[in-house]
Structure 1
Amino acid sequence: MPPPPMPPAPSGPPAPSASGPRAPAPATVLGLRARQWMVVAAALAGCYLTASAAALTGSWALMNREPTNAELRQAALAEVARRWQVWPAGRIFPERVAYSRGGGESEFATRVGIAPQTGCDTAVDQEYALVLRKHGCRAVLRATYTDQLQGVVVTVGVAAFPDQWRADKAFRELPANADPDRSGGVRPTVRAAAFPGTAAARFTDAARQERGTDRGGPYVMLTASGYADGRPAEVTTKKHPARPFVLAPQVARGIAKPLSTQALPDCSSREWRC
């Protein structure tokens, strides 16, 4: 009798091996596993925080330290160069300026008006304008004064430059002080500023008799002098023995000194940039 047939083997997945299922290999990026990347990220974050803290500490120390002597000097120079913009016109051109004719007695020149025009081209003659523009002239402020007897008039021009070095170059290139040119009036200089209803009402460019130049810090001082009656320079045949225009350079220096004198820096004030 033949043996009974063997039952068919059950279908389904193959039985696992005795060693068990094999886990998939961990993924790597640039040779580093995820945990290693976490360690690297943590280290970089620590370095970033340390660097940020150091930068903040350095910035705080920089902002709260005392300015150096060089910074204070630079701030003082910058403050002087900005005065033509931030000072009131009446502070730049005081109402009265002392002068002397000699002998120790002082007189006072009186301001009769301040010109509204400040252009470097329009406030001076063309020969002067070329020099001023060449060295960075920013503005020319003008005011007119009369002597104590109101017989002599002087227009003072303040040419403002970015710094004292450019002002000095312009000053050295301007024509030297000179007597009138008898053939056609005074040589090129600052334009006369006349003011109706004052002792300077007749003081026009044709009435300019003498000119002068000086410098104070970043400012070049220009003067044009003449008589209050407006007589033209070409009709004046000789220099007056009493030196009627002696007040002009003194008035210019009286304006230039406070305008160009450096003050002690005050970094808490709006006028200062420390």
Structure 2
Amino acid sequence: MLSVFGVLLLLGGGALTAHAYSNAQQELPNYAYGSVMWRDEQVDKVFPLTIGGRGGYNGGLYDRDKALWHRMGISPETDCDKGLTRTTLKAAQDNGCKAVLRATYVDPTANMVTTIAVVVLPEGPRNAGPKEKVDEVYQDNRAIEGAVAPYAVPGTAAAKWKSRNGSHLMAVPGEHMPYVLGASIGSADGHVAGELPGGFGMDNDTDRESWHADAQDLVELFVAHLSNLQNGGLR
């Protein structure tokens, strides 16, 4: 198996891993490609420049004018303890975490910022494998769990982001998809969820839940994106 160090070597060159042996011409069924695409796929495809949009998933994926989220940067750190926190990190480590790939995006107003994480785990039995176990731990601790560590991208609108206002995490469905996908989301201006001023304080719970909902929407967009990569992965 290729080392996580190989991921770091070629992040700047548009790939998620160095090929220690040539498999460029290897033909794999689409579903089987899912288990290796985290290290074989180009980084710009795993984390596209834009995601979502008014034109729908496909219409907004590569259309900057319609995109809901714009990529600010991709983290060069792929160690599990750099990408996850708290109980989610422990659950991932207990279940054989191989790497955590992260990228940070902002919305068109540059007010909302999010870090997306692809947690790479071993394959396991259907409905009871490592990804389901990590998902279960997150759900049990959702109220206190930030899950994905923010990646503040220097020199961008996300440079000062550190407060996580909401999060979501889920096991990516399907065979040969040994991933958990998560997102933490916050405010570029430093607003902390649940700290609305004055008479607005009664809406603090609603404020927190709205951030969680935004994180969930983004995770679901990326789950669909990874599924598309798998289905288009015939090599």
Q: TM-score of the superposition, structure 1-length normalised?
A: 0.58
C-alpha displacement of 1:246? 4.1
Match of 2:166? Answer: 210
Distance 1:241 1:133 in 2: 28
C-alpha displacement of 1:86? 0.6
User: Which of 131, 150, 154 lines up with 1:192 in the alignment?
Assistant: 150
User: Which of 41, 53, 58 lines up with 1:87 in the alignment?
Assistant: 41
Q: What runs of 5+ residues in structure 2 fail to find an aligned partner?
A: 1-26, 55-65
Match of 1:21? Answer: none
1:144–1:265: structure 2 CA closer, same or farther, 3 Å change rule?
Answer: closer
How many equivalent residue pairs?
Answer: 183
1:223–1:177: structure 2 CA closer, same or farther, 3 Å change rule?
Answer: farther
1:263 paired to 2:231: yes
Runs of 4+ in 1 over 6 A off after TM superposition: none
C-alpha displacement of 1:177? 7.2
More helix by share: 2
The CA RMSD measured in Å over matched residues stands at 3.0
Distance 2:112 2:232 in 1: 37
Distance 1:136 1:97 in 2: 29
User: Which of 209, 212, 215 lines up with 1:248 in the alignment?
Assistant: 215
C-alpha displacement of 1:228? 0.7
Distance 1:242 1:264 in 2: 35
Distance 2:209 2:90 in 1: 34
> Is this contact kept in 2: 1:127–1:188, CA < 8 A?
no
Distance 2:219 2:107 in 1: 13
Distance 2:223 2:141 in 1: 17
Q: Which amino acid aligns with 2:152?
A: A
Q: Which amino acid aligns with 1:128?
A: T
1:247–1:97: structure 2 CA closer, same or farther, 3 Å change rule?
Answer: farther
Distance 1:229 1:264 in 2: 38
Distance 1:265 1:94 in 2: 16
1:189–1:241: structure 2 CA closer, same or farther, 3 Å change rule?
Answer: closer
1:259–1:157: structure 2 CA closer, same or farther, 3 Å change rule?
Answer: same
Q: How does 1:86-125 map to 2 (within 5 A)?
A: 86-98=40-52, 108-125=68-85
1:259–1:107: structure 2 CA closer, same or farther, 3 Å change rule?
Answer: closer
Q: TM-score of the superposition, structure 2-length normalised?
A: 0.67
1:197–1:258: structure 2 CA closer, same or farther, 3 Å change rule?
Answer: same
Match of 1:51? Answer: none
Q: Which amino acid aligns with 2:70?
A: T
